[in-house]
Structure 1
């Protein structure tokens, strides 16, 4: 059987792209369950906190300068700076900023950060088209659905090479921008076609701790905006970009599946599956951090002889650096994260600094942490992102396993915890006294009469 024919048999060459386009173009605020609307509000506030927190970081400052140079019609805001540039440039900068601190949300099954791609695109276009905040909610629902479904369809073989936030994120950003632009199903399919042919992002940045990971989110957001704007003007794109024999899935995955693209489409919403991150590190480290925090109550850190950390294979591939040399590398080191959790009792932005990295006490403890992959935990992933931590002291040991880290829908953060996170991050760009009011507005965007109601507070 010829390879092309084999592909037709496996994927079926159905109409998945068009069905997703029809869904994205028809999301209606009035038909959304209350719990979905509420969830979007919390995710938007969480994303905004990450973006404002990242604005002051070196990559954020660079992004703001580049957005200023790109210029364009002053229609959308660069967060943390207040400058207005083109919606393309704003989406680029705000996407980069929101993916710097490693505190933006996660969808487990697709292994993506949907908010970092979807909300920068949606906010930038919402500032252009105006209207009430219910429009932002519609755009977010459409965008998150596309990110999650495309990421799930691409599967784990895609994730080995491709950063799924960058690739699937481009589809989600296009869907969100397209919904705000009121694209027809045909135009939305064109937008997805352009998004798919633009989607890229490689894991090679990890080898040097490069800033490219931040770019991935910004690029996905900006190219999603571009794809939607082109479609609005009649610019066509492939309407079989996902399922086609020379399309996105065949090009980027050894084991793609069309089933996740449309199974149950419209019956439930992917925003309800998204996790909110409490710790300023790669999500693959969070279950181990939670387990370490549990064990911290049972042991004297000074008496620890060894720490064994068992994780699933992907966690070790992405966050297995045993000896990070920069604060950014530390965010991708389960050894560092567990040591910090045991030593300091937390893993926030202040635990990932050059000063902490130089700490003799922390480095001594980190050398005692041994991380390894577990076939048992591999079988649980990605439905669960588990970790088991065992702490050995002289003559004794204690162990803790966490299957659902704090922030998962199965182990959610409270609204109060999210508000504390918002205040800590947003206060890096806003006066501290203004943060509670901004959180209240951002967490209930459907009450906003226009984007200016929020943006004037930033």
Structure 2
């Protein structure tokens, strides 16, 4: 049996099973975090430009952009998925090296609105999207991540699986939807090695491609069922020919959606262990920026490849700059959305300190990636004191998760400036009871 068929078998059996209460709870947490990510993303330039470019697909259709504007199903998935990734606040599944929520939930929401699905079906589609896509990402592994942006590639499968469930695909159609999705996958890491607007489009395009794959399969369009493991398939073309044996072994027993990372800072998640470590030393030793002579950060190589900007010239570069975010943490005590406002982006204290920060690879930390995202932070003061802290995990990782209260605070912090405090609280209450919602027609 091909991997596409193994995954489709699970999808077919999934439709008739009752999910554990804690799995549904974690699905609601993922949706709350997704909405928290979308609201600041709406203000990002690329989202406005995307709406302008796709104007002919707006103000019609059964789906909705966040905010209520009607849109066609594919366009709603594309724009909402882009917004969810644009501000770099969205969730991640560490072992698959990818942000599953942005595309998966955008596709699920668009599909649910198209067919009038209820909240429970919406949540179940999200769970299936996470479970199938994260396993594909784990199989592809680190070789795939060397060149490809998993949120764009692996995310297409999450979107397809979520939409496929909500649209009611049978076993055969589901397998063909995944096969078609495989040939739609895209998203190059080089797209964000220079300052550009491309990165969030990867998530949006994955959401759109997933919806399209499911819709096509529903009409009888077929794909090559060996497209994952074939001689010229995705595994070889976009990786090092990994083994797909056992891809479905733990489906239904080990729910990956229960092991998500929710961001506690704003920016590239590869920098977060270093931010946590810097904040720990700052608090523990009462360090002021002027006290610091040098900062050394040791971490894993993919983190340096992606958070690659030494002296950022824009807010977007700053989100992917190890020296900047560590300096900002040490100067201001946090790295939230305002860290990238002009006054903090060009704060002389931050700019002076980032020049005294070096980042390098530590072999032991690198060997533990992707299962562990650690950083070692060493600070030397001007009077010769030396402090060191190993941050084994990031705040928000499964080992140190955000509580429900912390996640709700994050939602309010990011949504209230956009929709107002009363509307934010009302939406949060609605999201907390999604499994009772008769529809997603909001």
Residue 288 (structure 2) aligned to one of 300, 313, 333: 300
**Counterpart selection for 2:213 from 220, 227, 232:** 227
Q: Pick from 412, 415, 419 the counterpart of residue 423 of structure 1.
A: 412
Measure how far apart 1:139 and its partner are: 0.5
Name 1:341's counterpart in structure 2.
329
The residue aligned with 2:320 is 332
Structure 2 residue 428 is the aligned partner of structure 1 residue 439: yes
Is the deviation greater in 144-153 or in 162-171? 144-153
CA–CA separation in structure 2 for the residues paired with 1:180 and 1:25: 12
* Cα distance in 2 for residues equivalent to 1:26 and 1:329: 45
Determine the C-alpha separation between the residues in 2 that align with 1:35 and 1:71. 37
Q: Does 1:288 align with 2:277?
A: no
SS of residue paired to 1:106: coil
Q: Is the 8 A contact 1:95 1:116 kept in 2?
A: yes
- The one-character-per-residue Cα deviations of 1:263-298 (angstroms, maximum 9, x if unpaired) are 312221110121101111111001001101101111
Please give the alpha-carbon distance, in whole angstroms, between the structure 2 residues aligned to 1:444 and 1:112. Answer: 27
The CA deviation at 1:241 is 1.8
In the alignment, which residue of structure 2 is the partner of 1:52?
39
* Residues 364 and 218 of structure 1, relative CA distance in 2, 3 Å threshold: same
Q: Could you say what secondary structure the match of 2:418 adopts?
A: coil
Instruction: Identify which of 345, 367, 381 aligns with 2:355.
Output: 367
Q: Distance in 1 between matches of 2:433 and 2:241?
A: 40
What is the aligned partner in structure 1 of residue 128 from structure 2? Answer: 142
Aligned length: 439
In structure 2, the partner of 1:131 is 117
Q: Which residue of 2 aligns with 1:10?
A: none
Q: CA deviation at 1:110?
A: 0.7
Match of 1:412 among 392, 398, 401: 401
Shift of 1:157: 1.1
Q: Which consecutive segments of 4 or more residues in structure 1 shift more than 4 A?
A: none
- In the aligned structure 1, how far is the partner of 2:180 from the partner of 2:313? 39
* Aligned residues of 2:129 and 2:160 also touching (Cα < 8 A): yes
Q: How far did 1:34 drift? A: 1.1
Provide closer, same or farther for how the CA distance between residues 72 and 432 of structure 1 changes in structure 2, counting only shifts above 3 A.
Answer: closer
Tell me the SS of whatever aligns to 2:117: coil
**1:259 Cα deviation (Å)?**
4.0
Distance in structure 1 (CA, Å) of the matches to 2:54 and 2:413: 25
Q: What CA deviation, in whole Å up to 9, does each residue of 1:145-193 have, x standing for no partner? A: 1221111111111111110110111011010000001100100011001
Which of 316, 321, 335 is the equivalent residue of 2:309? 321
Structure 1 residue 72: Cα displacement: 8.0
Match of 2:194 among 198, 208, 211: 208
Task: Kindly provide the CA deviation profile for residues 181-209 of structure 1, in whole angstroms up to 9, marking residues without a partner as x.
Answer: 11001000110011001111101122322
SS across alignment from 1:49: helix
1:14-58 CA-partner distances (Å, limit 9, x unpaired): 421101112224324852111111000011010011112211221
DSSP 3-state at the match of 1:322: coil
- Give the C-alpha shift of residue 222 in structure 1: 0.2
State the match for 1:449 in structure 2.
438
Secondary structure in 2 matching 1:245: coil
In structure 2, distance between residues paired with 1:101 and 1:21: 33
Match of 1:36 among 5, 10, 23: 23
- How far is 1:441 from its partner? 1.4
Question: Taking structure 1 as the reference length, what is the TM-score of the superposition?
Answer: 0.93
